[in-house]
Amino acid sequence: MPLAPTPAAKPPLTVLICAPRGFCAGVVRAIDAVEKALTVYGPPVYVRHEIVHNKYVVESLKRKGAVFVDELDEVPDTTAPVIFSAHGVPKAVPNEAERRRLFGIDATCPLVTKVHREAEVHHKRGRHIVLIGHAGHPEVVGTMGQLPSGAISLVETIADVERLVPPPADNLAYVTQTTLSVDDTEAIVAALKRRFPAIASPHKEDICYATTNRQEAVKRVAPQVDAMIVVGSPNSSNSQRLKEVAERAGCHIARLVLRAEEIDWTVFSGIRSLGLTAGASAPEILVEEIIDAFAERFEVTVETVSTADESVFFPLPRALREEAAE
């Protein structure tokens, strides 16, 4: 009797998985805030902007009764909660919610709020503020919206710093977006200090612990692997930065993917090692999905490369804490 053909052996693949990766304390708090509000008040719960930049998270909250809007004028007159996203909002937004007597709940990450307060203090001291960040990102829109128009100048690059003509050039301070590339920001800060030696700096870096730690882990893993996958959304700033960090650390194939179904397998066909991480708004279940998809095509061995331990926790926004206590 002829023997049945043996299936071709799968090629071996070592997956180096970065730690820390994925959800940060600010994202956990924002998602918990929406879920808590749904439990306490029932649907609908309105959420201004994607609560965090991840379609999977947004879709699962929608299924539970969250209604996502771009602006408050899409919210009807209602007693239902209206939650502001983790990225922070311009002051005009809570002011408008108050004017309309909406029940606003602020899920802005406390580390973004810290930057808002820093900017306010500098402004009170008569300083003009230079914000290092990406134009149009909701966090940047929110930070600029803490102060009157003209109080903050945005710079994205060293070239922007060279062109900058601040109103009082001798009384400046800088703050940054929380999710920037650590290395790019260092270079921009150095350029600012060269041009404006007296510029006031943040007491503690504005780039948050989660961004810094995820980039450090990628720097360790990227030079050791043939390819790198960052699980995250294209509109997630910290996920985009992780992909750039991987490329700069010497990994020639770095891809940002939201779900396993997006993977272009032709790119990964000849690899023997893969680095894997996830942006701060990407849930672990999507990392597992990617590993499973590789395991269908490769004989996978998973190793964790850990560069930091994280134990940061932020309590829920006050309105929901009080509700929980009652």
In whole angstroms, what is the distance from residue 268 CA to residue 294 CA?
Answer: 9
State yes or no: residue 319 binds ligand SF4 (CB under 6 A).
no
State yes or no: residue 26 binds ligand SF4 (CB under 6 A).
yes
In whole angstroms, what is the distance from residue 209 CA to residue 211 CA?
Answer: 6
Site for ligand SF4 in 196-235 (CB under 6 A): 208, 210-211
Site for ligand SF4 in 141-200 (CB under 6 A): 178-179
Per-residue DSSP letter, 200: B
Nearer to ligand SF4, 110 or 166 (CB): 110
Give the residue at shortest CB distance from ligand SF4.
Answer: 26
Provide, rounded to whole angstroms, the least separation between the CB of residue 208 and ligand SF4: 3
Active site amino acids: 139
Site for ligand SF4 in 36-55 (CB under 6 A): none
Among 85, 146, 176, 238, binds ligand SF4 (CB under 6 A): 238
How far apart, in Å, are the Cα atoms of 307 and each of 17, 25, 135, 297? 11, 18, 31, 29
Provide, rounded to whole angstroms, the least separation between the CB of residue 153 and ligand SF4: 22
**Token pair of 98 as six digits:** 């108050």
Cβ density class 140-160: b for 16+ within 10 Å, e for less? bbbbbbbbeeebbbbbbeeeb
Instruction: State residue 323 phi and psi, 5-degree precision.
Output: -65, -40
Nearer to ligand SF4, 14 or 176 (CB): 176
Site for ligand SF4 in 67-86 (CB under 6 A): 86
Nearer to ligand SF4, 28 or 158 (CB): 28
Provide, rounded to whole angstroms, the least separation between the CB of residue 306 and ligand SF4: 19
Question: Cβ distance 176 to 132 under 8 Å?
Answer: yes
Q: Give the x/- contact pattern for ligand SF4 in 273-292, rule: CB under 6 A.
A: -------x------------
Nearer to ligand SF4, 116 or 219 (CB): 116
Among 13, 16, 17, 27, binds ligand SF4 (CB under 6 A): 27
Question: Cβ distance 171 to 165 under 8 Å?
Answer: no
Q: Burial of 77 by CB count in 10 Å (0-12 exposed, 13-18 middle, 19+ buried)?
A: exposed
In whole angstroms, what is the distance from residue 316 CA to residue 320 CA?
Answer: 6
Nearer to ligand SF4, 172 or 208 (CB): 208
**Amino acid found at 50:** E
Question: Rule CB under 6 A: which residues touch ligand SF4?
Answer: 24-27, 86, 109, 111-112, 178-179, 208, 210-211, 238, 280
